[in-house]
Amino acid sequence: EKRETSDDSVKSTIDGDMTIISDSVLGSVKVDHPVLDAAAAYFFQISGKRFRPMLVLLVARAINKGATPEHIENIMAKQRKVAESTEIIHVASLIHDDIVDGSDTRRGIPSLNTKFGNKVAVLAGDFLLARSSLTLARLGNIEVVELFSTVIEHLSHGEVLQMAGKGKQNFDNYMRTIYFKTASLIAHSCKAAAVLSGAPLHIVEAAYNFGKHIGIAYQLTDDTLDFTQNEGLLGKPSQGADMRLGISTAPILYAAKQYPNEMNELISRKFSNDGDVESAMEFVKKSQAVEHTQDLAASHFKKAVDAALQFEPSPTRTAMISLIRKIMERDH
């Protein structure tokens, strides 16, 4: 019963932080032009899963120590800005991603490119990146600025790697892509929270590894959901949406190990003939491809737990590990 009490107190602390962030983000993206303002605020008026800021806040609260509560609150104020910037950069990357992928839905509503057109969507994404850079620069910590500049570089790099991998069957390229496009943001934002708390090097590294392995596992799960779930549940195009873009993700690559002749032909012509997507889907379903991908995701979730265990025992550390479980079991 004692444990339940401390779990509840961690939950209400993080909920409090999340409320502060949700209020503050709307101010951070405000701009004196009606179209840009509406486009920039578009996805912040509905709530996504918000895993990324939650992870940053948990890392922050698990590490922070200080002589006085005021000292901790000072650092927390900066770490909340990191959490907020992480969500803003994430949304900017989704806005650009929906243009690149030609997706018409996101989070269950029309994508920004559908609602405002590609031109406004490109500019709104750029605007959000600029505002997040400003927020981060104002924290006055040059290392944090460097960490997030690296993230923005990695996002672009990941997308280009993914494009270059179309029509090819290369697991190394795939793993590098998902590090760049998904894991880097989570890894570097968790690291930034640790840097701001003045944590020792091994803890800064643990924070980075925690985020990195969650990120890799998160994208692996995402890539299975494109085979197992429908658009209604995911709120974005599904059921082979990646294949329709010519992209081979982990389930496809595992199915190709089991059915090399049939799958390699489909992969190399980028699933472009009538019925290709459907037959690849059949091979994925009759192979163990989804299970293999889930096993690989589970091994990265396990590495994230190991990284969390580098932190000192605390109710917040326990909450970090429960959040990993929750992310691992997600169905959308």
Which residues bind to ligand FPP, rule: CB under 6 A? 92-93, 96-97, 100-101, 103, 125, 129, 152, 155-156, 159, 181-182, 236
Q: Which is nearer to ligand FPP, 84 or 159 (CB)?
A: 159
8 A C-beta contact, residue 305 and residue 229: no
- Tell me if residue 307 falls in helix, strand or coil: helix
Question: Which window, 59-67, 81-89, 93-101, 290-298, contacts Mg ion (CB under 5 A)?
Answer: 93-101
Minimum gap (Å) between residue 35 Cβ and ligand FPP: 20
**# residues near Mg ion by CB under 5 A:** 2
Question: Which window, 4-12, 41-49, 96-104, 307-315, contacts Mg ion (CB under 5 A)?
Answer: 96-104
Minimum gap (Å) between residue 249 Cβ and ligand FPP: 8
Minimum gap (Å) between residue 125 Cβ and ligand FPP: 6
CA distances from 283 to 7, 252, 258, 290 (A): 44, 8, 9, 11
- In the list ligand FPP, Mg ion, none, the entry touching 53 (Cβ below 5 to 8 angstroms by class) is none
Minimum gap (Å) between residue 134 Cβ and Mg ion: 26
Structure tokens at 41: 């605020």
Q: Is 226 in the site for Mg ion (CB under 5 A)?
A: no
Give the alpha-carbon dihedral of 94, 88, 228, 278, to 10 degrees: 0
Query: d(Cα 309, Cα 305) in Å, to the nearest integer?
Result: 6
Question: Which window, 95-103, 149-157, 214-222, 275-283, contacts Mg ion (CB under 5 A)?
Answer: 95-103
List the one residue from 17, 97, 223, 226 that touches Mg ion (CB under 5 A). 97
8 A C-beta contact, residue 111 and residue 98: yes
Q: Which is nearer to ligand FPP, 75 or 91 (CB)?
A: 91
Closest to 15 (Cα-Cα) out of 68, 61, 70, 46? 61
Query: d(Cα 235, Cα 43) in Å, to the nearest integer?
Result: 13
- In the list Mg ion, ligand FPP, none, the entry touching 316 (Cβ below 5 to 8 angstroms by class) is none
Closest to 248 (Cα-Cα) out of 229, 266, 221, 267? 267
Query: d(Cα 275, Cα 311) in Å, to the nearest integer?
Result: 50
Contacts of 299 (CB under 8 A, 6+ apart): none
Query: d(Cα 132, Cα 126) in Å, to the nearest integer?
Result: 10
- In the list Mg ion, ligand FPP, none, the entry touching 93 (Cβ below 5 to 8 angstroms by class) is ligand FPP
Q: Which is nearer to Mg ion, 84 or 101 (CB)?
A: 101
Query: d(Cα 259, Cα 72) in Å, to the nearest integer?
Result: 56
Q: Which is nearer to Mg ion, 244 or 257 (CB)?
A: 244
DSSP label at 313?
Answer: P
Q: Which is nearer to ligand FPP, 17 or 223 (CB)?
A: 223
Q: Give the H or E element holding residue 57.
A: helix 51-63
Query: Which residue, chain included where needed, has tokens 């509840």?
Result: 8
Q: Which is nearer to ligand FPP, 83 or 95 (CB)?
A: 95
- In the list Mg ion, ligand FPP, none, the entry touching 156 (Cβ below 5 to 8 angstroms by class) is ligand FPP
- In the list Mg ion, ligand FPP, none, the entry touching 293 (Cβ below 5 to 8 angstroms by class) is none
Q: Is 101 in the site for Mg ion (CB under 5 A)?
A: yes
Could you list the residues that contact Mg ion (CB under 5 A)? 97, 101
